[in-house]
Each structure stands twice: as structure tokens, then as C-alpha cells.
Chain A
Amino acid sequence: MAILDLANPTRFLALSARLLPWLAAACVIAFAVGLYMTFFVAPDDYQQGATVKIMYLHVPAAWLAMMCYSVMAISSLGTLIWKHPLADVSAKAAAPIGAAFTLISLITGSLWGKPMWGTYWVWDARLTSVLVLFIMYLGLIALWRTIEDPIRAGKAAAVLTLVGAINLPIIKFSVDWWNTLHQPASVIRMDGPTIHPTILWPLLVMALAFTLLFFVMHLMAMRNEILRRRLRTMQLQAASARVGVATPQAAE
């Protein structure tokens, strides 16, 4: 029943308005705890020294870049299969947020790479596939802006999003399939994390903070998108009313 209720944009606006302050507060608390642990609790890495502190931004941003695209892919299924009224609203709202997290992941990774690898960039599979993800986000944003009718734009973007989802396993497994400077997975592994708990816990708290930030911004952007569609409907209504009045006069 709750899911069906959410299908109604007006109910979604009411529910999200109640939820947002709590999510925002949880996000601020998680960031405060995460940053405290990063700078005052977590030790320096025995090889990397203090540059390991870049990991607390880079890794959550990279996770969120992929999670955001997964949200868009699931929303695209909602658009194409179930024609859920909020599905393409969700996908459209998530794209700029995903692009921002991907950009953060690319820049922080590059700034981490220079002191550790001796270079800002290499064209290996992991870095290139994440760059492709960023370009896909920009392409989807452009597609939504190109097609004026939001329903048609939503369907076209949903197809493109689902095609682009093939990039997600490529990003995830690129470090296993090809030679790369990038380290293999060290947290999400079948045999458990290989990071010491003193570094793992601050990382997980920062990941939680980034996830909450994503949900806060996604809900806000979805609310904006619903308002944008309402405004468009009202503008079309006002325009057709003007034409309706003008036509008889023109005929006279």
C-alpha cells in the first residue's frame, strides 16, 4: 500500500517533506562523526602515510557514482515495464547527482594517483570505464534536455540508461580482468575486507554519510522535477486557454 501511495506525486511530496529533515540531520551527524574519525582516530597508512585520508572521499564517491547509476537503471525498468509515474522523475533527478559523485571520484583519484603512482592518469580499464560512466551521465542529462516532452524523454533516456548499465560490472571487475595500477577490491570481497578495522570503520561511516547525502539530494531533486512538470502542465493549460479565446476572435 505504501509503495502504491508513493506512485501519487502529491503524496510523494507530502511524505518526502516529512522525511527530508530527518535524513538531512542524519547526514550531518554521519559526516561529523566520519570526518572526526578520519582526521583524529584513523591512523596513517604504513606505506601511503596521510594520503590514505583521500580514500575516505574517493571510495565513497566511487561507490555512490555506481549506486546512483544502479538507481537510474532500476528507475528505467520502472519507466519501461511498470510505467510508474515517479520512475523517470527519479532517474532524471539522479543523473546530475551521479555525475557529481563520478567527477569527485575522478578528481580525488587523480590527486591520489600523483603522489602514489607518480601520475595523475593512466588509460587503464578502471579509470577509463569510470570516465565512460561520467560521459554517460552527461549524455543522459543532455538527452533529457533535448526532448521537450518529459514522457518521451523519459522513455528514450530509460533505454539508453539500461544499455549503459553494462558498464557497471565492467567498472567493478576491471581490476580483476585487466592489468591496472588501481588496487583490487579491498572492502566488498567474498572473503571479507582486507583493510584494518581502524581504517575500515571511518571509511564505512563516510560511506554512510555519502549515501545519506545522495538520498537527501535525490529527494530534493525529485521534488523539484515534480514541480517542474506541474509548471509545464500549467503553462500548456494557460497557452491552450489563450488559443481557445483567440481562435474565435481570429475567425470573426
Chain B
Amino acid sequence: MTEFLELGPHAGFIIACYVVTLVVIGALFVWILADGSRLRARLAAMEAQGVTRRSARARSADARESGS
């Protein structure tokens, strides 16, 4: 652990690099996650309103036909 803390006279530059990398990657990751959950929520809202995609309608029609 002592070795870990011995970053020499330029420790500030080294630590700044790791912090910047963490912040940039963290922000990107959070943005991708938030974008995904926002899109899923909006899709669910559209489906709740009865709007479905053509392929989804075709699949449900197939399922009905095979069931009958």
C-alpha cells in the first residue's frame, strides 16, 4: 500500500489522469444506461396506448392462427 501511495513529485498529474478517465467513462456509461431505460419506458408507454409494430402484429396474428 505504501508503494501505491508513492507516486513521486508528479502525483497530481497521475491522479488527475485516473480521475478524468473515471469521470469520462462513468458519465458515458450512465448516459447509455439512462438512454436505454428512457427508451424502454417510452416504448412501453406506446404499447400501453395500443400502438404496436407491424412485425409484432404479424407475430401475434401467427400465434392466434396457430392457436385456433
Closest residue of A by beta carbon distance from B1: A40
**13 new A-B contacts at CB < 8 Å, known A213-B25, A228-B39:** A39-B4, A49-B8, A61-B21, A104-B20, A104-B21, A104-B25, A107-B24, A217-B28, A220-B36, A231-B43, A234-B43, A234-B47, A235-B46
Q: Is the CB of A97 within 8 A of B36?
A: no
Instruction: Say yes or no: is A83 at the interface (Cβ < 8 Å to chain B).
Output: no
Of B3, B8, B29, the residue contacting A40 (CB under 8 A) is B3
**Chain A residues near B35 (CB-CB < 8 A):** 221, 224
Instruction: Say yes or no: is A186 at the interface (Cβ < 8 Å to chain B).
Output: no
Q: Is the CB of B16 within 8 A of A111?
A: yes
Chain B interface residues toward A at CB < 8 A: 3-4, 6-11, 13-14, 16-18, 20-21, 24-25, 28-29, 31-33, 35-36, 39-40, 42-43, 46-47, 49, 51-55
What are 6 residue pairs bridging A and B, where the CB atoms are less than 8 Å apart in the complex? Answer: A57-B18, A100-B25, A107-B17, A111-B20, A114-B13, A241-B51
Of B9, B14, B33, B46, the residue contacting A53 (CB under 8 A) is B14
Beyond A51-B13, A224-B36, is A100–B53 a contact (Cβ under 8 Å)? no
Closest residue of A by beta carbon distance from B43: A231
Closest residue of A by beta carbon distance from B28: A100
Q: Tell me the complex Cα distance, A100–B27, Å.
A: 10
Convert A197-224 into 0s and 1s, putting 1 for each residue whose CB lies closer than 8 angstroms to a CB of B: 0000000000000000100010011011
Instruction: Say yes or no: is A10 at the interface (Cβ < 8 Å to chain B).
Output: yes
Beyond A49-B10, A224-B39, A227-B43, is A111–B17 a contact (Cβ under 8 Å)? yes
**Chain B residues near A51 (CB-CB < 8 A):** 8, 10, 13-14
Instruction: Say yes or no: is A54 at the interface (Cβ < 8 Å to chain B).
Output: yes
Beyond A10-B55, A57-B21, A104-B20, is A217–B29 a contact (Cβ under 8 Å)? yes
Instruction: Say yes or no: is A194 at the interface (Cβ < 8 Å to chain B).
Output: no
**Chain A residues near B55 (CB-CB < 8 A):** 10
Give A242 Cβ to nearest chain B Cβ, in Å.
10
Q: Tell me the complex Cα distance, A237–B49, Å.
A: 12
Q: Is the CB of A103 within 8 A of B24?
A: yes
Q: Is the CB of B53 within 8 A of A230?
A: yes
Give A118 Cβ to nearest chain B Cβ, in Å.
12
Q: Is the CB of B17 within 8 A of A238?
A: no
Give A13 Cβ to nearest chain B Cβ, in Å.
12
Of B10, B32, B36, B51, the residue contacting A238 (CB under 8 A) is B51
Give A109 Cβ to nearest chain B Cβ, in Å.
9
Q: Is the CB of B7 within 8 A of A53?
A: yes
Q: Is the CB of B8 within 8 A of A217?
A: no
Q: Is the CB of B33 within 8 A of A50?
A: no
Q: Is the CB of A108 within 8 A of B17?
A: yes
Instruction: Say yes or no: is A112 at the interface (Cβ < 8 Å to chain B).
Output: yes
Instruction: Say yes or no: is A150 at the interface (Cβ < 8 Å to chain B).
Output: no
